[in-house]
């Protein structure tokens, strides 16, 4: 029987919108789209793609740490990027810097807008805990 474990950052949007940052069901963890939020839940680094990408990865690490997972166990990622052509160079630097030699499956969508004014990136993960850390 699969067990379910839920993780939240404790930001107001979680209860207002009715979602969790991540849900573990058995050996899989589904991580909701993470973005450039401070510990207080405030959107930070508006219009600065590189800074948003770094903060988004910090927030993804918080989720992974909660479950005792590592970046090497990320099997897929979905990235939503505003102005993809303009931000592709920073993305091509930031993504490999985050993962090192690990290469999860990846889908990138160029989108016209995201939740917050000035938000340029959002990233969701699927994690498989059966993989070596």
pLDDT band at 13 (very low <50, low <70, confident <90, very high): confident
pTM more than 0.85: yes
Q: What is the model's pLDDT at position 3?
A: 65
Whether residue 1 has pLDDT greater than 80: no
Tens-place pLDDT, residues 55-78: 999 999 999 999 999 999 999 999
Q: What pLDDT shows up at residue 15?
A: 87
Cα separation, 44 vs 53, in Å, equals 11
21 or 40, greater pLDDT: 21
% of the chain exceeding 70 in pLDDT: 98
Residues in CB range of 76: below 8 A, 6 or more apart: 104, 105, 106, 107, 125, 126
Residue 4 — pLDDT band, cuts 50, 70, 90? confident
Q: How big is the CA angle at 91 (ends 116 and 68), to the nearest 5 degrees?
A: 80
CB-facing half-sphere around the CA of 14: CA atoms within 13 A: 16
Calculate mean pLDDT across residues 89-117. 97
Q: What pLDDT was estimated at residue 2?
A: 61
Residue 40 pLDDT: 86
């Amino acid at each position: 029987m699969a067990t379910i474990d839920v993780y939240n950052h404790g930001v107001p949007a979680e209860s207002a919108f009715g979602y969790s940052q991540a849900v573990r069901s058995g050996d899989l963890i589904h991580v909701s789209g993470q973005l450039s939020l401070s510990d207080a839940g405030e959107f930070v680094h508006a219009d600065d793609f590189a800074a948003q990408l770094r903060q988004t990865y910090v927030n993804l690490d918080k989720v992974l740490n909660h479950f005792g997972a590592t970046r090497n166990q990320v099997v897929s990622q979905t990235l939503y990027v505003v102005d993809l052509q303009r931000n592709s160079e920073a993305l091509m630097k930031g993504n490999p810097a985050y993962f090192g030699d690990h290469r999860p499956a990846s889908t990138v969508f160029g989108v016209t807008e995201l939740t917050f004014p000035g938000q340029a990136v959002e990233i969701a993960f699927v994690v498989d805990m059966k993989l070596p850390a």
